[in-house]
C-alpha cells in the first residue's frame, strides 16, 4: 500500500448513492479525517464525485492510489474506515464487494466483472473528479482538445475529424454527427446556434444526468468545439428542471469556464467568441424531441414540427442549429484529443465508440455502465449486470426508453449497436435498458409504456394522440379479460399507421413496445384474449393463485408472507389459498421453495 504522495477518497454522490445518504458519508469522512489529524506521510483529500456506476451497491467509496473499493458504506462505517484503512493501511473486509464470478470478496474495482468489461469514454471523468472543480477537469487533460482545435485546426478540419470518427448521435436516432455539423457549417446565414439536449425523460434512464452532474466541463468543451466547427457564437443547454444538481453543477462549471477564458469573448486568444446559457425545461417528455425542444426554448408550447426542412437549415428561431445530446457532446473532446482513427477502432462497422446505458430492472447490478458498441446483450446483462436478481429466469430486455422495444431471450446474443437493435424492432434510444424476469407480463409491460406515452404525447397529431389512446384502451381491456379476437390485428394495424403517419419521433416509435411484444410474445397475448389467463400471474383479473397439494410440504412460508391472510392451513399439512381474500400479489409464489404455488386462469376449468 502506498505510503507516498497524496491520497484521495472519492465518495460517489451520483443520484443513487445520494439518495442513500452518501453526502452524509462524505461530510463524516471530512470531519473524522481532520479530527484524526492524519499528519502522517499521507495527505488525504476527500472528494464528492459523480456517479461511479454500481448504484445497486451504493453508497460507494474509492480510495486512491490504494485502489480500494468499498460498497454500501454507512455513516457508522466511517470511523472504521479512518481507523483501519487510512491510519493503519488495512482493508475493512465487510465493506468489500463480493464478486460472484470468483466467489469471494475483492479489493480493487478492476477485479470486478462489473468494471472490468466496461470502457469509459463519455464517462471518463465521472466518478474520478470533483465536478465543481475545473482544476480537476484540466488536470485530467480537459480543455486540451479545445486548445489544440482553436490554435491548430480550421473548422473544416474539425468536422472532417468528427466525420472520420464515425460518431453518431447518442440521443436516440443515431444521426451521423459530422454530417449534421457539415450541413450546418454550409449554411451562409447567421446567427447559428448549438444546443445540448439534456431533457432526459425516459423512465429509468439517468445517463445524461450523471454526465451533467459528474463531468459538466466535458459537455461545455464539446459544445465550444462544435460551435467553432459550424460558426456559432451562442449555445443553449436544455436541462429538465427536476435535475437540480445537474443544473447547479452545470451553472457553476459555466462560470468557471468563463473565468478561465474557455467561454466568452476571444476564447484562448483565438478571436473566436462563444457563450452558453442554461434553459430549464418543464419536464415534458416530448421536449426531448429536437424541434419541440427548440419551440420550448423559444417560449412556445413544446410541440414538434414537421422536419422535412431540417434544423441545421432552419432550427431555433428559424436559424441554422446543431442540436446534440449530452453524451454526444461529451464524446467530442475525446475524439479531438485522441484522434478519429483511435475512436473508430472501437465498436462495430456502423456504430463507432462506446455507449452509456442505465442498466435497471430485475438485474443484480443496477447502475450506470459504458461499453463498446457491439457488445452482446448477454455480456451486458449477465457479466456486467451479474444476471437476474433473485436467481429468476431472464425473459426480455427493453431498450431505448418507453418507445423502444422488448427483446426476447432468443436474441440474447444480439450485438448492441444502432442497426442490430433497429432490426430487432427496438432501438438504441438514449440508452435505457430495463431487464425483465419471468414474473413480468409482456402485455402489462406494453400497457405500462403506452400509459406513459399517452400522458406524454404532445397531442398535436391525430395518429399519435388518438392512436395511443385507442391502443391503450385495447390493452387495458385485454389485461382485464375483455380482449376480443380481432384485437391483435387492430393493434398491429394501428401500430403500422402510427409508425408512418405520426408527426415526430415520439409517435413514430410509440407502437414499438406493442409491436415487439406482439412479435416475440404473441402466445402471451393469445392466452390473455382466448383463455383469459395471464401466464406470468400479473394481470389480477386473469389470475387465480392456488397451492398444488401434491407439492406442498406444509412449511408455512407462504402463510407467513401473505399480506392479506389468505393462506389457510396448519404447518405440516398442505396449505390452501382463500380466493376471496387473495390480492394476487404473488408473494407466496416468490417465497415457495418447492414450486407448489401455481397460477391458473380466471376460468376455473382451465389448468
Interface residues toward other proteins, by CB under 8 A: 284, 286, 301, 305-306, 308-309, 453-463, 465-470, 472-474, 484, 490, 493-494, 496-497, 500-503
- Find the shortest distance in angstroms from Cβ 313 to other proteins: 11
Q: Would you say 63 or 453 has its CB closer to other proteins?
A: 453
Least distance to other proteins from the beta carbon of 266, Å? 39
> From the CB of 514, what's the least distance to other proteins, in Å?
14
Asked if 276 contacts 223 with a C-beta cutoff of 8 angstroms, the reply is: yes
User: What is the smallest separation between the CB atom of 237 and other proteins, expressed in angstroms?
Assistant: 23
Is residue 485 left, alpha or beta, with left meaning phi > 0 and alpha meaning psi from -120 to 50? alpha
Distance, CA of 536 to CA of 392 (rounded, Å):
13
Q: Which three cell numbers stand for residue 246?
A: 445537474
- The nearer residue to other proteins, 503 or 577, going by C-beta atoms, is 503
Distance of closest approach, residue 401 Cβ to other proteins, in angstroms: 16
> How far lies 292's CA from each of 283, 312, 316, 328, 519, in Å?
12, 15, 10, 19, 31
DSSP secondary structure letter of residue 385? S
Beta bridge partners, 39, equal none
* Least spacing, CB of residue 573 vs other proteins, in Å: 48
Nearer to other proteins, 134 or 461 (CB): 461
CA 517 from chain centre, in angstroms, equals 21
Is 41 or 496 the residue whose CB approaches other proteins more closely? 496
Question: Could you tell me where the DSSP H helices lie in 141-280?
Answer: 144-152, 155-165, 177-186, 207-214, 216-230, 244-259
Q: In this structure, what C-alpha cell is assigned to residue 137?
A: 477537469
- Cβ 179 to other proteins, closest distance in Å? 17
Contacting residues for 382 by C-beta, under 8 A, at least 6 apart: none
Q: How far is the CB of 308 from other proteins (least distance, A)?
A: 5
Which C-beta is closer to other proteins: that of 194 or that of 474? 474
How buried is residue 507: exposed, middle or buried, by Cβ count under 10 Å (0-12/13-18/19+)?
buried
Which CB sits closer to other proteins, 275 or 313? 313
How many distinct helices (H) and strands (E) make up the chain? 25, 19
Nearer to other proteins by C-beta: 82 or 286?
286
**Three-state secondary structure of 430-473:** CCEEEEEECCCCHHHHHHHHHHHHHHHCCCCCHHHHHHHHHHHH
What are the respective helix, strand and coil percentages of the chain, to the nearest 5?
45, 15, 40
As measured in angstroms, the least distance from the Cβ of 298 to other proteins is 14
Considering beta carbons, is residue 16 or 463 the nearer one to other proteins? 463
Beta strands in 57-173 (DSSP E): 61-64, 68-70, 97-99, 104-106
Between residues 273 and 466, which has the closer beta carbon with respect to other proteins? 466
Distance in angstroms between the alpha carbons of the first and the last residue of the chain: 63
Which of 211/506 has CB closer to other proteins? 506
- Closest distance to other proteins from the beta carbon of 558 (Å): 39
Assess contact for 61 and 10: CB atoms under 8 A: yes
Spatial CB neighbours of 35, under 8 Å, sequence gap ≥ 6: none
Amino acid at each position: 500500500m502506498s505510503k507516498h504522495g497524496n491520497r484521495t477518497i472519492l465518495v460517489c454522490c451520483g443520484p443513487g448513492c445520494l439518495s442513500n445518504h452518501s453526502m452524509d458519508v462524505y461530510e463524516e469522512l471530512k470531519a473524522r479525517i481532520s479530527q484524526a489529524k492524519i499528519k502522517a506521510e499521507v495527505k488525504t483529500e476527500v472528494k464528492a464525485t459523480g456517479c461511479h456506476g454500481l448504484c445497486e451497491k451504493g453508497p460507494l467509496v474509492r480510495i486512491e492510489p490504494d485502489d480500494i473499493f468499498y460498497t454500501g458504506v454507512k455513516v457508522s462505517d466511517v470511523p472504521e474506515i479512518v481507523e483501519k484503512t487510512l491510519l493503519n493501511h488495512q482493508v475493512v473486509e465487510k465493506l468489500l464487494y463480493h464478486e460472484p464470478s470468483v466467489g469471494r470478496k475483492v479489493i480493487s474495482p478492476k477485479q470486478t466483472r462489473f468494471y472490468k468489461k466496461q470502457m469509459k469514454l463519455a464517462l471518463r471523468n465521472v466518478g474520478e473528479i470533483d465536478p465543481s472543480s475545473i482544476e480537476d477537469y484540466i488536470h485530467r487533460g480537459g480543455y486540451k482538445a479545445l486548445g489544440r482545435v482553436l490554435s491548430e485546426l480550421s473548422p473544416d478540419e474539425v468536422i472532417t475529424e468528427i466525420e472520420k470518427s464515425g460518431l453518431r448521435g447518442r440521443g436516440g436516432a443515431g444521426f451521423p454527427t459530422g454530417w449534421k455539423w457539415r450541413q450546418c457549417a454550409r449554411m451562409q446565414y447567421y446567427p447559428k446556434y448549438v444546443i445540448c439536449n439534456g431533457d432526459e425523460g425516459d423512465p429509468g434512464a439517468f445517463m445524461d444526468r450523471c454526465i451533467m452532474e459528474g463531468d459538466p466541463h466535458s459537455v461545455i468543451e464539446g459544445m465550444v468545439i462544435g460551435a467553432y466547427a459550424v460558426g456559432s457564437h451562442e449555445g443553449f443547454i436544455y436541462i429538465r428542471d427536476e435535475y437540480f444538481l445537474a443544473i447547479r453543477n452545470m451553472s457553476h462549471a459555466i462560470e468557471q469556464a468563463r473565468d478561465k477564458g474557455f467561454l466568452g469573448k476571444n476564447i484562448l486568444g483565438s478571436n473566436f467568441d462563444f457563450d452558453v446559457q442554461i434553459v430549464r425545461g418543464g419536464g415534458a417528455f416530448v421536449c426531448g424531441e429536437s424541434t419541440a425542444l427548440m419551440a420550448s426554448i423559444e417560449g412556445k408550447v413544446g410541440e414538434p414540427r414537421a422536419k422535412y426542412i431540417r434544423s441545421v437549415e432552419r432550427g431555433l428561431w428559424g436559424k441554422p442549429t446543431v442540436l446534440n445530446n449530452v453524451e454526444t457532446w461529451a464524446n467530442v473532446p475525446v475524439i479531438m484529443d485522441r484522434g478519429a482513427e483511435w475512436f473508430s477502432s472501437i465498436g462495430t462497422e456502423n456504430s463507432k465508440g462506446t455507449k452509456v446505458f442505465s442498466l435497471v430492472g430485475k438485474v443484480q447490478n443496477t447502475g450506470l455502465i459504458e461499453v463498446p458498441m457491439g457488445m452482446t446483450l448477454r455480456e451486458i446483462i449477465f457479466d456486467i449486470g451479474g444476471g437476474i436478481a433473485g436467481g429468476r429466469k431472464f425473459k426480455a430486455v427493453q431498450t431505448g426508453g418507453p418507445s423502444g422495444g422488448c427483446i426476447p431471450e432468443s436474441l440474447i446474443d444480439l450485438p448492441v449497436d444502432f442497426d442490430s437493435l433497429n432490426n430487432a424492432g427496438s432501438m438504441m434510444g438514449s440508452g435505457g435498458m430495463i431487464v425483465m424476469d419471468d414474473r413480468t407480463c409482456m402485455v402489462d409491460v406494453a400497457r405500462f409504456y403506452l400509459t406513459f406515452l399517452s400522458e406524454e404525447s404532445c397531442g398535436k397529431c391525430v395518429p399519435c394522440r388518438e392512436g395511443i389512446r385507442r391502443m391503450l384502451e385495447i390493452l387495458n381491456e385485454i389485461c382485464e379479460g375483455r380482449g376480443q379476437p380481432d384485437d391483435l390485428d387492430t393493434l398491429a394495424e394501428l401500430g403500422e399507421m402510427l409508425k408512418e403517419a405520426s408527426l415526430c419521433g415520439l409517435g413514430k416509435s410509440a407502437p414499438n413496445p406493442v409491436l415487439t411484444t406482439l412479435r416475440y410474445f404473441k402466445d402471451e397475448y393469445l392466452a390473455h384474449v382466448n383463455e383469459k389467463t395471464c401466464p406470468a400471474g400479473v394481470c389480477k383479473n386473469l389470475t387465480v393463485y392456488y397451492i398444488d397439494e401434491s407439492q406442498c410440504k406444509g412449511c408455512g412460508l407462504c402463510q407467513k408472507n401473505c399480506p392479506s391472510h389468505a393462506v389457510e392451513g396448519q404447518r405440516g399439512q398442505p396449505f390452501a389459498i382463500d380466493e376471496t381474500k387473495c390480492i394476487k400479489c404473488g408473494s407466496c409464489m416468490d417465497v415457495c421453495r418447492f414450486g407448489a404455488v401455481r397460477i391458473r386462469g380466471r376460468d376455473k376449468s382451465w389448468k
